[in-house]
Structure 1
């Protein structure tokens, strides 16, 4: 923790007090939460960014789309549109935000919507003639105006909420006690060989109650990179010089998976909108070599001047163990709450 963050500790105490009062008012029903007659699953975190919400939402989509009509609802962070927007053929990353646009492109059978007002967003989805049977709320753990039926809380292996502090001293959006609202806690971005002993240690550290389940996942990188027209095995491009480009919260694992001594890494802020000057700089640094980026960045760059040399590396969330138990918990919740 740097000196400035330590100095700001009194503000962290104040911020924690404010969020605790807000949660208390929602818990007691003084502030209104709206519930819906459709299964609503909220995925989120206690901290700011970088816990792997996008691959977890995609995991749920893959689990559910063969069985139910699924919709995702996000706020559409850094989008240039306003209000409720339902993804359609004219949508792009600027209209939806990069992550919702990624959902829309990958899962054509899923309704993808954005609205900062989640209550209004759900109402709009349910008013659609072909309304969804299940709604996945992306990054909505603190959005208490909607009362989801099921909460999934993510916390990164190397940045557990139990070790963190409130903003601005740490990265927590609310106090650690907020984890009590979660039905399931997933420790993300684990080493893929995480031992049972270490899992037990983390389980005890998080101090979950007896009704809460905990699972452990890792980021599973594809063995192939893709662009609009081609795909290439990662093993084939490992030895050739390339530019690795990332505008995500925690790009280090992405770089480590692909990088060799001949590569250059270029980092931008999370959800960065690439300007013409950025594109010129990237193209110059690439010097004619392949540019490999994350899937989230690719949806913002695929129509740019970089397209002829631009590739992306997909990722997915994979459970270390007990995947069937997780799937069963989600499917049981939906089955028990789906109205005919």
Structure 2
């Protein structure tokens, strides 16, 4: 894989040039970026791979749901439908994609819609749902919309400033575009990240005067969720566990489980993978199957003895208070 990335360096130069020209066209006003009457919060990143976007959307829902009528607009990556679609009780994961489906099932009081065309999606949301606030999932690189507030995520140990364009690196947008963020969150940090290390990262990111940099860890739950029951993580130590993942980066989860003394076999698929009947048959007879919440919504009802482990952001220091204060005016 590393060799292929190195061989792809000339392609990454062409990709970077295309990204530069595209951003320049928007910056100069040749292509218009529209603002809307409804406040919007964009959550996204500059790279491909997991930085914790969906857990951040859920964190914002928890933070804002009491005082605002919320809507979530997502592209619905990998869905088997087209156009604008609002989640309702009869909606399937195939229709809207795994992450929007996960959010809707967890927060049915929140309007969840999918539309690859963000302008069209926002316009219909305003006309039909009239929310107070729209959360734009994975929309940082979509320049056709100017959000009210932008949150840029970058993973600890994989900072965008240290990365390079696809396919040699993981960047899908220019590092310079970080200037459009109101808030930069360094995710997946060690829970005991020292102040000195935080200051070193801030220095490396070199934020603008108006930008804040916050730090968060991804925290795994110790209680596993199944279909109608739960299981303590400690109960896995005497069981044969198969971990099935279809996410961008399962390594943090694998590390967490091994540190919890869970002996497991890991079956890894690509991000947003929709499991075939043949694949499900190959592992459905296992004693206990553990997966992520995003994978669970694609496997639920198809596999017995299936459990998932919840994950959420936990801000380090006074990050939660700083985030809440930054969003007060929306």
Task: Give aligned pairs, total.
Answer: 327
Q: 1:313 aligns with which of 303, 309, 316?
A: 309
Contact persistence 1:242–1:290 (CA under 8 A)? yes
Mapped pair 1:242 → 2:210: no
Is the partner of 2:284 in helix, strand or coil? helix
Contact persistence 2:74–2:136 (CA under 8 A)? yes
Partners of 2:225 and 2:138 in 1: how far apart?
A: 27
Is the partner of 1:116 in helix, strand or coil? coil
Partners of 2:89 and 2:5 in 1: how far apart?
A: 45
Gaps of 5+ in 2: none
Partners of 2:209 and 2:290 in 1: how far apart?
A: 44
Give the 4+ runs in structure 1 shifted more than 4 A. none
Contact persistence 2:237–2:263 (CA under 8 A)? no
Is the partner of 1:127 in helix, strand or coil? helix
Question: Bigger CA drift: 8-17 or 137-146?
Answer: 8-17
**1:78-117 superposed matches below 5 A:** 78-117=78-117
Question: Bigger CA drift: 14-23 or 85-94?
Answer: 14-23
Structure 2 counterpart of 1:21 = 21
**1:50-89 superposed matches below 5 A:** 50-89=50-89
Contact persistence 2:33–2:144 (CA under 8 A)? yes
**1:124-203 superposed matches below 5 A:** 124-128=124-128, 130-203=129-202
Contact persistence 1:247–1:271 (CA under 8 A)? yes
Contact persistence 1:74–1:113 (CA under 8 A)? yes
Q: 2:325 aligns with which of 321, 325, 328?
A: 328
Contact persistence 2:220–2:311 (CA under 8 A)? yes
Contact persistence 2:154–2:184 (CA under 8 A)? yes
Gaps of 5+ in 1: 335-340
Partners of 1:95 and 1:20 in 2: how far apart?
A: 34
Is the partner of 1:26 in helix, strand or coil? helix
**Aligned-residue offset at 1:232:** 1.4
Is the partner of 1:48 in helix, strand or coil? coil
Contact persistence 1:238–1:258 (CA under 8 A)? no
TM-score by length of 2: 0.96
Partners of 1:22 and 1:242 in 2: how far apart?
A: 47
**Aligned-residue offset at 1:29:** 1.4
Partners of 2:167 and 2:79 in 1: how far apart?
A: 25
TM-score by length of 1: 0.93
**Aligned-residue offset at 1:325:** 0.9
Partners of 2:323 and 2:278 in 1: how far apart?
A: 45
RMSD of aligned C-alpha atoms?
Answer: 1.3
